[in-house]
Structure 1
Amino acid sequence: MARTDEPRLDFRSDTRTVPDAGMRAAMTAAEVGDDVYGDDPTVALLEARVAGLLGTEAALLTPTGTMANLLAPLAAAGFPGSREPRLIVGEDTHMSFLESDGLRRFAGVELLSVAQRPDGLPDLDAVDAALAAGGGRPTVVCLENTSMMGGGNALDAGATGALAALAHRYGAHLHLDGARLANAAVALGVGPAELAEPADSVAFSVSKGLGAPVGALLCGTRAYVARARELRTALGGSLHQAGVVAAPALVALERLPDLAADHATAAALAAGFGTVPGVELLDPPRPTNMVMARLAGLTPEQCAARLAGHGVRVLPLPNGFVRFAVHRAHDMIGVRAAVKALAAVAATASKALTTTGGDLIGRGLSTTRTEEA
């Protein structure tokens, strides 16, 4: 039996990478200052590079994407001293079902989850209705790209532009949760700036598919980022000699084109699963590095537990599927092992269904929570 901690068989998240020799060398050689005082040169370089990549005036390094998304509506509302914002999010987004507690508790937002299309774009009619009922509070509309619950679907600039036009008609701020925006850009064959351009702010992770050990950046205008910097201090997110964190992120940015290899590996994984009887796959229009699968008669937790028995680690989701998130540690050896493991689990599930007369798909849907999924 394979080891359950073997990197090529751990598909739980694309955060599961570890810094390689190049990143560790960059950390060792990093020139550092004190980012609390604004004089860490490596952090300054990273922020300038990411702002340039996304076409924004400025960027702010944060420890996590969750903190970037927490800062985003507060900075948009003009804090400190203004009213807490309303937040309109798609019901199947990371901000809605994994970050909502923190947004309500620490940002004091009124969070409104609205219907979402299968591709990940919030339903424009539902957003329109929520905006029309604004009541005078600052409002932030949020979009996630790629759409995690949409199977990692990449949304193009036209989709973002349509949502931005609607938000701006009501004087609202559009925030783009671009945790995997790099994947979307590579899948669509465009620069990240094209996908970010319609938005007023962007959270951009360097610790997911890009493989840096830590960090996300919140990007926007200089004034917006200055407000976010004050808020980051208040939340305890400021770092001192943060150049050792920024250095591997700079290496990660150079590897953005390599995400195409992850997408190809994910496509091979999906093709392999497609040959397994009883497996249902989520089929996004523009796939990236994720594969979602489910088996009749098994809850996501049951499926994940049985796959773990074969050495393959996956993430159970509340939509009835388990997620395979592909990253640079995965290869065709891991793909073949995962397909073999899922085939074994499917055969057992099929036999159980025949014996018991079946079960409801998705019974006991997953309540697994992970802040940095």
Structure 2
Amino acid sequence: MDVIDLRSDTRTTPDPRMRAAMARAEVGDDSFGDDPTVLELEERVVGLLGTKAALFTAGGTMSNLLAVLAGIGPGGGTVVAGAQSHLLHYENDGARVLARARVQAVPDPHGELDGDAVTAALADGPRPALLWLENTSNRYGGNALDEASSHRQAAPARRAGTAVHLDGARLANAAVALGRRPAELAAVADTVSFSLCKGLGAPAGSLLCGPVELIEEARYFRRMIGGTLHQAGVLAAAGLVALDRLPELAEDHRRAAALRAALAGSAGVETSAIPRPTNMALFQVPGVPAEEALERLAGAGVLGLPITADLVRLVVHREHSDTDIERAAERIASVFPGGRA
């Protein structure tokens, strides 16, 4: 049986065009700052996000860690983030151990931080501090946050004189879904991480973007944690191809919408509402824990991930076809025709 892998949009692989670009990439040594393809990629993302500088890193976890190290320093401080943020659930150890940060969780319905809770957390926590935003919101099913929402969330930090970081792992998805330029959604933050290796399909790579002085400090920290790359233009070339594909994310969103609609019509599952959806679907099977549901789905050739004890996340990406999505929905319905078997 063929397997339809809906675990993550990191599951994409380089296609012939991307591999050809990587093979012919002009390279230097990024540790000396003279890899021309890396410099081209950084300049292009600076233009895309409207920042002053950018730093190429191996991936989003590294970009986010560098934002914390440069934002509060390695001596510790407070990072205020949503209770369901990617930082708190998947990157907390890096911030806590390497940056000695205290990560303070606040309520974040649908990925939007509660303003009063942010104000209280910033007042009570050790300084310096950093406010952490995320767009799209991973654990809320890829919910895209518009400019008004982002500015509401950032307002308490601005009043307190606190810097703002935006985890933009799927900022490209948010921009396409909302019909906005990435720079318009990034303008709320002092620093932004921008991933190339999720829906955009590069095999690796993220960029930390922000002011020149802060990005140079992040470059120092990148070296400190062993993140220096040498002939990194090979990976940066894939990133340049990935940027060309930003408009194609609309197809992922269309297919994800079809998947959500099919699941909503299935008697055996309950779908979660996503106010501004992108490329994900969330569902649960009443009475069936997420891990058990996923085991049963794997037997039918559909792979997903648990988000909570009950919720299953499915992610659509550029390598899925309309047929894949139709078959995935059919298999889910066949495994859970009416809830617990």
| Same fold by TM-score greater than 0.5 | yes
1:332 matched to 2:332: no
Identity over aligned pairs, percent? 52
1:343 matched to 2:338: no
Question: Residue 213 of structure 1 contacts residue 248 of structure 1 at CA under 8 Å; is this kept in 2?
Answer: yes
The answer for the alignment partner of 2:116 in structure 1 is 125
Equivalent residue for 1:263, pick from 249, 253, 269: 253
2:231 alignment partner, SS class: coil
1:105 matched to 2:100: no
Question: Residue 73 of structure 1 contacts residue 85 of structure 1 at CA under 8 Å; is this kept in 2?
Answer: no
Q: How far 1:114 sits from its partner (Å)? A: 1.1
For 1:131, the aligned partner's letter is L
Question: Residue 56 of structure 1 contacts residue 221 of structure 1 at CA under 8 Å; is this kept in 2?
Answer: yes
The answer for the alignment partner of 2:233 in structure 1 is 243
Question: Residue 46 of structure 2 contacts residue 54 of structure 2 at CA under 8 Å; is this kept in 1?
Answer: yes
Equivalent residue for 2:25, pick from 24, 30, 34: 30
Question: Residue 64 of structure 2 contacts residue 167 of structure 2 at CA under 8 Å; is this kept in 1?
Answer: yes
CA distance in 2, matches of 1:155, 1:23: 30
For residues 31-180 of structure 1, the aligned pairs below 5 Å read 31-77=26-72, 79=73, 83-117=75-109, 119-135=110-126, 137-180=127-170
CA distance in 2, matches of 1:143, 1:303: 31
Q: What TM-score do you get using the length of structure 1 for normalisation? A: 0.89
Q: How far 1:169 sits from its partner (Å)? A: 1.0
CA distance in 1, matches of 2:28, 2:328: 45
2:139 alignment partner, SS class: coil
Equivalent residue for 1:297, pick from 287, 290, 293: 287
Q: How far 1:85 sits from its partner (Å)? A: 2.2
The answer for the alignment partner of 1:206 in structure 2 is 196
1:347 alignment partner, SS class: coil
For 1:53, the aligned partner's letter is L
Question: Residue 289 of structure 2 contacts residue 309 of structure 2 at CA under 8 Å; is this kept in 1?
Answer: no
Q: How far 1:181 sits from its partner (Å)? A: 0.2
2:337 alignment partner, SS class: helix
Q: How far 1:348 sits from its partner (Å)? A: 6.9
For 2:7, the aligned partner's letter is R
Describe the superposition over 1:180-233 as per-residue Cα deviations: whole angstroms up to 9, x where unpaired: 000000000010000000101001000000000001110000011000000000
Task: Give the 3 Å change call, closer, same or farther, for CA 15–182 of structure 1 in structure 2.
Answer: same
1:307 matched to 2:297: yes
Structure 1 vs Structure 2 CA RMSD: 1.1
CA distance in 2, matches of 1:343, 1:224: 50
2:214 alignment partner, SS class: helix
Higher mean Cα deviation, 270-279 or 174-183?
Answer: 270-279
2:336 alignment partner, SS class: helix
Q: How far 1:10 sits from its partner (Å)? A: 0.5
1:250 alignment partner, SS class: helix
1:13 matched to 2:3: no
Q: How far 1:164 sits from its partner (Å)? A: 2.1
Question: Residue 53 of structure 1 contacts residue 192 of structure 1 at CA under 8 Å; is this kept in 2?
Answer: yes
Question: Residue 269 of structure 2 contacts residue 338 of structure 2 at CA under 8 Å; is this kept in 1?
Answer: no
CA distance in 2, matches of 1:253, 1:346: 39
Q: How many residues align?
A: 341
Q: How far 1:175 sits from its partner (Å)? A: 0.4
2:161 alignment partner, SS class: coil
For 1:35, the aligned partner's letter is D
1:260 alignment partner, SS class: helix
Q: How far 1:319 sits from its partner (Å)? A: 5.4
Question: Residue 9 of structure 2 contacts residue 198 of structure 2 at CA under 8 Å; is this kept in 1?
Answer: yes
1:149 alignment partner, SS class: helix
1:153 alignment partner, SS class: coil
CA distance in 1, matches of 2:151, 2:124: 22
For 1:132, the aligned partner's letter is A
Question: Residue 307 of structure 1 contacts residue 345 of structure 1 at CA under 8 Å; is this kept in 2?
Answer: yes
For 1:94, the aligned partner's letter is H
